[in-house]
Amino acid sequence: MTLLTSRRGELRPVILIRDGEWLARSLDHARHPLFSWIAGQRQCGWLLESQLPEIRLLATLLAARRHQPSPTPSRLSDEADWLAARIYLLRLEQVEMAETENGTLAQANARLRELCGPSAPLAAAIAPASAQPAWLQTGWAPILQPVRDVGGAAAMAANSRRMRPQCQSRLASLISSLRSGIQAR
């Protein structure tokens, strides 16, 4: 895995299981392959998106800002909205993406620039170290609160609870800035 050299010492990996977005697409959660996949994981420091509802809220806010008053589509937010929300709330500076997904990252960065102006937090794409399931998002961020290095689904939930105050604070600051007409950072 290649990191930008100027930031290497400051960035830490953030591995997010996109269960919030993926399970929203399925009616039968008990049979969704993501559930059995999570149950078998023993990796360290992973986060569960379903435990960070601010990501869904910001993705929906980004989508709502784009849509004109007309019939609401069946799925309001798209992948770029979700990625933009993750970049902003988790402070991701680098995101592992296949080259074919660079368009989604470009859209996410553009939506953040539109929302936050020239000081928008943007992420750069880096090539994935290996093939990963579609519901896994790996990025690099200057994490304020270190994620514990223990595995298992319970640890993933605990890691997510420790990261949630950062997400809540960043979203509250963003909403306050939007209400006052100031562009957020």
> Hey, what CATH topology would domain 7-65+74-180 get?
Rossmann fold (3.40.50)
- Other residues' Cβ atoms within 10 Å of the Cβ of residue 39: 9
What Rg value do the Cα atoms of the chain yield, rounded?
16
| Ramachandran quadrant class, 145 (left: phi over 0; alpha: psi -120 to 50; beta: rest) | beta
Along the chain (185 residues), what's the average pLDDT of each consecutive run of 10 residues?
46 80 56 66 74 94 81 80 96 93 96 93 91 84 67 78 93 92 66
Report the side by side order of strands in the sheet with 94-96.
46-48, 12-17, 136-141, 94-96, 124-126
Tokens of 76: 């309001």
Q: Where are the domains of the chain?
A: 7-65+74-180
Question: What is the rounded distance in angstroms from the CA atom of residue 39 to the CA atom of residue 32?
Answer: 12
Q: What is the pLDDT of residue 6?
A: 40
